[in-house]
Amino acid sequence: MPHMLQRAAVVALSLAIGGASLAAPAAGAGGAIKVGVDLELSGPASVWGTPQLRSIQMVADDVNQHGGIDGKKIELVVLDNKSDPTQSLTNAKQLVEQDHVSAVIGGGTSPTTMPLLKYMESAKVPLISDGAANPIVTPVEERHWVFKTPHNDSVIAEAVARFLARKKLQSVGFISVNNAYGDSGLRQFSATAPRYGLKIVDQEKFEATDSDVTAQLTKIRDAKPQALVVWAIPPGTSIVAKDAAQLSLPQTLVFSQGAGGNAFTELAQKAANGVYIVTTKIPVASQLPANDPQKKLLAGYVKEYDSRYHEDPDAIAAFGGDAMRLLATAMKNGGGDDPSKIRDQLEKIHNLVSLSGIYNVTPEDHQGLSINDLVIAQFRDGKWNLVAGK
């Protein structure tokens, strides 16, 4: 048996060499433009990866139904990176070298994006990431080919701090999930808070798999801050909300945009009444004033997502769709299927009304959104309600 497995391994090696050498042709069948997608479809981050893929798919289908890119259809080549950084890098290589994609959307989070940066720079193919951390697009001199669609965490932190300062709150507690997302939020908020006169009096962490955070919340309660900032993802955000209600925590709770849509509201229910969230406009799309430039697009997006997938889209899924929209725009504006031209066109995207905001990409800013694309919402009676002012 052992030597049979060894024979199998040799066969596998030969197959791999053969298969890799017979790479797919550069252009897709019928002249399609190939876009590679490298996302977390399984593993701990799949709660975001799958919705992001849906959003990308929706936008791609929409583009194809309206004539494609100068008649050519967009073809998605999708690989699961299993929430693993190494797999993400291997996927990127497969997409670029075997499938000859014109651009790659991925990873869905920061840890799966960072390993790709050096490679995409040397391969000279544009990468649009759905990760939230600042280092993805900075320092700009080393990120010619890398873009990202979510707000930088520094901007979200700024919006949170600004909101708290406006409410005349000065002492805050901070609780975050113990992964890259929470860590990035912690760093950015710690840096931003002093500039708005805020003092972090207690800072706690919890694991993504924890079922109970009463211990951490008790410590926060004892430190007596006026507000509590929560930087986490589902299901942790719901658990924080529920436990906070259970302990009758007097603090105002402010969540970062990772809090989640249905997952958060369903579990937290009454416990979440009164909490605030800093988010893009998607959770409150129906409440936007008529003159909001995003209103029409978002209304259509929410309706389509709902009818296709039977649940409301959340802010995180939209980053995928935005990445696809940025690419489609760059391709239509002269990028075609040429990676280098697409990259150049991406940097010229101006006032693109999209799902998470209005994108203005420049050579210095490969993210493109501003703090004005964020809103504050408050949870009441089963849904998020837009709060006027910021």
Residues 292-351 that bind other proteins (CB under 8 A): 311
3-state secondary structure of 376: strand
Smallest distance from the beta carbon of 128 to other proteins, in angstroms? 16
Smallest distance from the beta carbon of 282 to other proteins, in angstroms? 16
Q: What are phi and psi of 170, to 5 degrees?
A: -120, -35
Part in contact with other proteins (CB under 8 A); list of ranges 109-117, 286-294, 322-330, 335-343: 109-117
What single letter denotes the amino acid at residue 361? V
What is the C-alpha to C-alpha distance for residues 116 and 91, in angstroms, rounded to an integer?
Answer: 10
Residue whose entry in the numeric block shows the structure tokens 């890398």: 146
Smallest distance from the beta carbon of 154 to other proteins, in angstroms? 13
Query: Site residues for other proteins, window 191-210 (CB under 8 A)?
Result: 204-207, 209-210
Find the binder of other proteins among 115, 167, 297, 352 (CB under 8 A). 115
Query: Site residues for other proteins, window 201-260 (CB under 8 A)?
Result: 204-207, 209-212, 214-216, 218-219, 234-235, 238-239, 242, 245-248
Tell me, what DSSP letter sits at residue 256?
-
Find the binder of other proteins among 28, 107, 111, 173 (CB under 8 A). 111
Part in contact with other proteins (CB under 8 A); list of ranges 181-189, 278-286, 342-350, 360-368: 181-189
Part in contact with other proteins (CB under 8 A); list of ranges 14-22, 158-166, 289-297, 333-341: 14-22
Long-range contacts at 108-111 (CB < 8 A, ≥ 24 apart): 108/39, 108/40, 108/45, 108/48, 108/49, 108/52, 108/81, 108/320, 109/40, 109/45, 109/48, 109/83, 109/180, 109/181, 110/135, 110/136, 110/180, 110/181, 110/184, 111/85, 111/180
Find the binder of other proteins among 17, 26, 140, 191 (CB under 8 A). 17
Q: How many chain residues are in contact with other proteins, going by CB under 8 A? A: 96
3-state secondary structure of 78: strand
Query: Site residues for other proteins, window 31-90 (CB under 8 A)?
Result: 37, 41-44, 46-47, 49-51, 53, 57, 60, 75-80, 82-86, 89-90
